[in-house]
Chains A and B, each alone.
Chain A
Amino acid sequence: MKRRRRAQIAFFFAFNPNLVGFLRGSIFTGITKGVCIPVLNCYSCPAAIFACPVGAMQTVAGSAAQLSRSVLGVLLFVGALVGRAPCGWACPFGLMQDLLAGLQKHKLRLRRSWEKLRYAVLAFTVVGAFYMVDSQTGVSIAPFCRYICPQGTLQAGIPLMAANGSLRHLIGGLFWWKVGLLTAVLLAAVFIKRPFCRFICPLGALLGPTNWISRRQVYVDCSACVDCSNCREVCPMDIDIRRNPRDFQCIRCGDCSEACPEAAISQGIPPDGDG
């Protein structure tokens, strides 16, 4: 098993160790739930012991009418050091898509211009959190969690509905919409490389620009490149790293450097410090 896959599985269990919650149909309520992690990991998952930054951002926007400093802090801190590496090495939904991608070798290649959709989803998430407020409670309805998040449906919605009978009577059209969306994303992940990360994820849209300034960088030695395109073929985000090593979609997974026969691609911290 590849080192990255081992890391993804280890991070999954590090973020979701409360497995007994699946049997009880209840969620973890310890103090670590106040801490955000820089990956999409639903805090309503029975096993989760940390907070999801997208959910937390919407909560703070709705209740305090401000951008969450803890979410921005975590994303800036981690992003400035390693860029989008959490997407490639630690995100549970990224792991799910990577596993599904292994079922089908030949992938559909979509135009990169469609990837801008994730910025529209980010805008909907942030602006909606401020303005889409429940008229009875005065609290944000968390539009991304409510209408889109397939990770919430997979990690929280389906397991809790299965284990907790008192919640089951609440199932309505919205639940089935989200189950349909989850099914569509998971099916798409078999035929398209990481479709959720590339086209939808608001967290990836936020972390992406940190690739430009992050301490850890990808380097491509163009003089050693033999144009075999192995790097493009193995890239889980379907980018051509030779064109732009700081591409906002690069998740720093290192698959390209492993696939390069000439060792023309590397990752690391610049020794001279000028990145």
Chain B
Amino acid sequence: MQRSRLSMIIAAFGLMLLVWAGADGELYRILATATRVCLQCLGVG
């Protein structure tokens, strides 16, 4: 398979994963975490 075609298939697969994550509520799980101060990131949790 041509490498450039493979790259486009993988890019499309990545986009599909993103849409799936959005539909499945994963983005809200990340949103819920990312909008709180992460004590681990701060090095105190």
Q: Which A residues lie at the B interface, using CB under 8 A?
A: 26-31, 33-36, 42-44, 51-52, 55-56, 59-60, 63-64, 68-70, 72-81, 141-142, 145-146, 149, 152-153, 156-157, 160-161, 167, 170-172, 174-175, 177-179, 210, 213-215, 269-270, 273-275
A29–B8 alpha-carbon span in the complex (Å): 34
Q: Which B residues lie at the A interface, using CB under 8 A?
A: 2-8, 10-11, 13-22, 24, 26-31, 33-45
B30 is contacted by which of A30, A70, A142, A161 (Cβ under 8 Å)? Answer: A70
Do B29 and A60 have beta carbons less than 8 Å apart?
Answer: yes
B30 and chain A: residue at smallest CB distance: A56
A157 and chain B: residue at smallest CB distance: B42
Q: Chain B residues near A157 (CB, 8 Å)?
A: 41-44
A56–B27 alpha-carbon span in the complex (Å): 9
Q: Chain B residues near A149 (CB, 8 Å)?
A: 41
A81–B9 alpha-carbon span in the complex (Å): 10
A77–B8 alpha-carbon span in the complex (Å): 9
Contact of A77 with B14 at beta-carbon distance under 8 Å, contacts A68-B21, A275-B2 already known: yes
A160–B43 alpha-carbon span in the complex (Å): 11
Do A34 and B5 have beta carbons less than 8 Å apart?
Answer: no
Interface of B is mostly: helix
Interface of A is mostly: helix
Chain B proximity of A28: nearest CB distance (Å): 8
Extra pairs beyond A146-B43, A160-B42, A167-B44 (16, CB < 8 Å) = A28-B35, A56-B33, A64-B26, A69-B20, A70-B18, A70-B21, A70-B22, A141-B40, A146-B45, A152-B38, A152-B41, A157-B42, A160-B37, A175-B44, A179-B43, A213-B7
Q: Chain A residues near B22 (CB, 8 Å)?
A: 70
A-B contact pairs, 6 of them (CB 8 A): A34-B27, A36-B30, A43-B34, A55-B41, A69-B21, A270-B4
Residue among B2, B41, B45 with the highest chain A CB neighbour number at 10 A: B41
Do B10 and A76 have beta carbons less than 8 Å apart?
Answer: yes
Chain A proximity of B27: nearest CB distance (Å): 4
Do B4 and A142 have beta carbons less than 8 Å apart?
Answer: no
Do A73 and B21 have beta carbons less than 8 Å apart?
Answer: yes
Do B27 and A73 have beta carbons less than 8 Å apart?
Answer: no
5 closest residue pairs by CB, A with B: A76-B14, A73-B17, A77-B14, A34-B31, A275-B3
A62 and chain B: residue at smallest CB distance: B33
B23 and chain A: residue at smallest CB distance: A69
Do B24 and A69 have beta carbons less than 8 Å apart?
Answer: yes
Do B43 and A34 have beta carbons less than 8 Å apart?
Answer: no
Q: Chain A residues near B28 (CB, 8 Å)?
A: 34
A55–B29 alpha-carbon span in the complex (Å): 12
Q: Chain A residues near B44 (CB, 8 Å)?
A: 157, 167, 170-172, 174-175
Do B41 and A42 have beta carbons less than 8 Å apart?
Answer: yes
Do A152 and B33 have beta carbons less than 8 Å apart?
Answer: no
A59 and chain B: residue at smallest CB distance: B33
Residue among B15, B17, B19, B45 with the highest chain A CB neighbour number at 10 A: B17
